[in-house]
Amino acid sequence: MKTYVFDAGALFAFLRKSPGAPKVNELIKEAVRGRARVLMSAVNFGEVYGLILRASGPEQARRAVHAVSPLPIEVVEATAQRACTAAEVKAKYQLYYVDSFAAALATEHHATLVTGDSDFRKLGHGFPVVWLRV
């Protein structure tokens, strides 16, 4: 079974119905059918919540979290080990720390990262990437 890691941009694209949303929706449907697994770091999930909170307020942020909760997206906790691994990725590739959690999770699970963030190009070909149009 294929495993995907969503960064904040992937979930945000889905929620905003931006140009990357159809691909994210397709991957979620694959997970619903049991053909794929979708993971997301709690740090990246929190980033999405924070973006919505800042732009639209607490009620809209809560609605977004509620809308996402039944989806087959496994939110993976940020353990001390994962935080250290993310810090190593940040230092090596000069990514934002929050982005480093998505990259570290993709590496940990031998997964495909789903993103529209061109900063991830700094990682070279360390793992497969599904590039979203955003």
Shortest CA distance to 42 belongs to which of 65, 22, 21, 26? Answer: 65
| Tens-place pLDDT, residues 33-81 | 999 999 999 999 999 999 999 999 999 999 999 999 999 999 999 999 9
Least confident residue range of 21-35, 61-75, 91-105, 116-130:
116-130
Kindly report the pTM of this predicted structure. Answer: 0.94
Give the DSSP per-residue string, the chain.
-EEEEE-HHHHHHHHHT-TTHHHHHHHHHHHHTTSEEEEEEHHHHHHHHHHHHHHH-HHHHHHHHHHHTTSSEEEEP--HHHHHHHHHHHHHH---HHHHHHHHHHHHTT-EEEE--GGGGGGTTSS-EEEPP-
Instruction: Report the percentage of the chain scoring pLDDT > 70.
Output: 99
Dihedral angle at the C-alpha atoms of 43, 46, 51, 56, nearest 10 degrees? 180
The domains of the chain are located at 2-131
Q: For residues 107-131, give the mean pLDDT.
A: 91
Class of domain 2-131: alpha beta
Interhelix angle 42-56/97-108, nearest 10 degrees: 140
